[in-house]
Amino acid sequence: MTKRNHTMMQFFEWHLENDGNHWNQLEKLAPELKKHGIDSVWIPPATKGITQADNGYGIYDGYDLGEFDQKGTVRTKYGTKDELFKGIEACHEHGINVYADVVMNHKAGADETEHFHVVEVHPEDRHEEISEPFEIEGWTKFDFPGRAGNHSSFQWNFNHFNGTDYDHSTGDKGVYRILGEHKRWNSQVDDEFGNYDYLMFANIDYYHPEVRDEMMYWGKWFAEETTCNGYRLDAIKHINHEFIREFVSEMRKEHGEDFYFVGEFWNPDLEACQNFLDSLDHQIDLFDVPLHYHFHVASKMGCDYDLSTIFERSLVGTHPFNAVTFVDNHDSQPHEALESWVEDWFKPIAYAMILLRKDGFPCVFYGDYIGINGEHKIPGKKEMLDPLLDARYHLAYGEQHDYFDHGNTVGWVRLGDLDIPESGCAVIASNGDHGHKRMFVGEFRAGETWIDVTGNVSESIIIDEEGFGDFQVNGQSVSVYTKQSASQ
């Protein structure tokens, strides 16, 4: 029996209201998501941050899921621990896997300062020391008084970190490498800025044996406590790759081989992504950042972009079984650090390209589906996305034939699967003027009437006796055709 296509949703965006209602929304929307074929959700960091308004990436306490009065709040931005568990339970009841965003690179909002020695390094080349050793007062002591040892008695101090960026005694900022026996930057990290171990806050030292043991324990605890089905690993290019390999192995020993991992390795260079996958023996998936940037550039260039090349030098093109494809996410949305927003006119084309093809694990962005909040609001595109999601869930199966033979008008056909009645579809996209393509959908379909389920083209077409249809598309749009009876 053929398995249905899998689809993920990133269930958050950067500017959600700080109303503690997000886990309740997850519980409420679970049946609607599953109805449209979304069978996994990537949820935001559930751990206590430096403030209630923090999105979770300024992680303070990994054992506080909205349970303890810390940093002036019991709940996180997204809700309480009980509400989180109810949201996850609702997902599981509807056959939706939950992948938790885990932040393992740094800690923020320390409870006390400590005095220790550092050397300042050049921010553009962290191998270059630009000072003699000196003492600073840094925020590196974490004893979590509000939790009082519940879940874990481990306390952090400066020995567990290898870098920080602020001297409390002087107010000076910089990139400071913490000194001590065997202390150095981790070598198994991205080589941007010479060495990209340090990103922000108090940087966790994965050469320290106590740190490795603690983070292994925490990873197992978190998955057991929340019953999540996998992890999205944040800022993975800044974390010791050898530790990541061990972490993945240990989590799967503890929680089963199906425990899922996807890493955020934000690098548009394909070779860098490939090398990282190789270093982990392809044990995890990566977000297809190169393809995202192809979509971004294509949306900016319009008809000057050669659509027939859009999958070249993408992760899904070279590693289809390790690529999580996406159009946009919380980092690429407008006014954020990695802003590279795909223009609205191109969004339907891009989503068709990740949802209706056989390769890759597509991830739909909450900001595109529900909308973006905050000062610069952007309405959601549910009415556009639902037909594409439904087409993926019900139609996009079977052998794929590509018609990427024109720079402005491309298409492909999924021939369908006998195990999924009425499946099969033809997709055609244009970044220029009105276009058409004669594409083969099967001789057995001769005489069938096919229609565009997106509604962009109103005229139906008849499949000829050879099994071909002349499929039409309007300028700067996408159309998805299927047998008329299959769309009802």
**DSSP H helical segments within 54-207, as ranges?**
81-93
Nearest-5° Cα angle at 430, 427 to 434 = 105
Catalytic-labelled residue, pool 61, 101, 264, 288 = 264
Closest CA to 134 of 160, 113, 114, 116: 116
Burial class (CB in 10 A: 0-12, 13-18, 19+), 6: middle
Residue with tokens 């996408």: 478
Q: Which amino acid is at 482?
A: T
**pLDDT number for residue 205:** 97
Predicted confidence (pLDDT) per residue in 379-402, tens digit: 999 999 999 999 999 999 999 999
CATH code (residue 358) = 3.20.20.80
- Residue 87's alpha-carbon distances to 46, 162, 188, 442, in angstroms, are 12, 37, 36, 44
Gap between the Cα atoms of 445 and 286, Å rounded: 38
Identity of residue 360: G
Pairing of strands 106-107, 378-379: unpaired
Q: What is the mean pLDDT of residues 434-458?
A: 96
Interval 44-66 mean pLDDT: 97
In a domain, 431, yes or no: yes
Using an 8 Å Cβ cutoff, are 374 and 337 in contact? no
| pLDDT tier, 240 (very low <50, low <70, confident <90, very high otherwise) | very high
Question: Which domain CATH number covers 460?
Answer: 2.60.40.1180
Does 1 map to a domain? no
Highest mean pLDDT (candidates 138-142, 182-186, 187-191): 138-142
CA angle 134, 235, 71 (to 5 degrees): 70
Confidence of residue 480 (pLDDT cuts 50, 70, 90): very high
Q: What is the distance, to the nearest Å, from the Cα of residue 92 to the centroid of all Cα atoms in its chain? A: 20
Report which of 336, 337, 333 is spatially closest to residue 296, judged by C-alpha positions.
Answer: 333
Indicate if 382 and 277 belong to the same structural domain.
yes
Residue 345 lies in a domain: yes
CA distance 229 to 87: 13
268 and 294 share one domain: yes
How confident is residue 487, by pLDDT bands cut at 50, 70 and 90? low
Q: Is 2 inside a domain boundary? A: no
3 within domain boundaries: no
Range of the domain at 222: 8-105+210-394
- Provide CB contacts within 8 A for 19, sequence distance 6+: none
Instruction: Report how far residue 365's alpha carbon sits from residue 91's, in angstroms, rounded to the nearest whole number.
Output: 17
**Cα 408 to Cα 187: distance, rounded to the nearest angstrom:** 44
Backbone angles phi, psi at 49, to 5 degrees: -100, -175
Question: Quick check: pTM over 0.85?
Answer: yes
Tell me, what's the pLDDT at 156?
A: 98
Average pLDDT for the chain: 96
Q: How do residues 3-42 score in pLDDT, each as one tens digit?
A: 899 999 999 999 999 999 999 999 999 999 999 999 999 9
- Given the residues 27, 101, 234, 368, the one annotated as active site: 234
Is residue 411 located within the same domain as residue 481? yes
Residues 35 and 150 in one domain: no
- Per the annotation, the verdict on 443 as an active-site residue is no
Same domain flag for 149 and 166: yes
pLDDT at 105 over 80: yes
pLDDT of residue 3: 85
Q: Which residues define the annotated binding site for Ca(2+)?
A: 105, 197, 205, 238
292-318 pLDDT tens trace: 999 999 999 999 999 999 999 999 999
Number of domains in the chain: 3
Give the residue-averaged pLDDT of 414-418.
Answer: 96
Q: Which residue has the tokens 């739909």?
A: 364
Residue 185 lies in a domain: yes
* Residues 428 and 441 placed together within one structural domain of the fold: yes
Are residue 173 and residue 137 in the same domain, yes or no? yes
Please identify which residue in the block is written with the tokens 């006014």. Answer: 335
User: In terms of domains, do 233 and 338 share one?
Assistant: yes
Q: What is the pLDDT of residues 73-87, one digit of tens each?
A: 999 999 999 999 999
Active site residue 234: yes
* Among 208, 226, 248, residue at a domain's last position: 208
Does residue 53 contact residue 18 with C-beta atoms inside 8 Å? yes
Name residue, tokens 């249905």: 4
- Which tens digits make up the pLDDT trace of 447-467? 999 999 999 999 999 999 999
Please tell me whether residues 136 and 98 are part of one structural domain.
no
Q: What is the pLDDT confidence band of residue 485, given thresholds at 50, 70 and 90?
A: confident
Q: What is the pLDDT of residue 181?
A: 87
Q: Which residues are CB-contacts of 193 (< 8 A; sequence separation ≥ 6)?
A: 123, 124, 125, 126
CB proximity list for 420: less than 8 A, separation 6 or greater: 2, 4, 394, 397
Binding residues: 105, 197, 205, 238
Do residues 118 and 137 lie in contact, with contact meaning Cβ atoms separated by under 8 Å? no
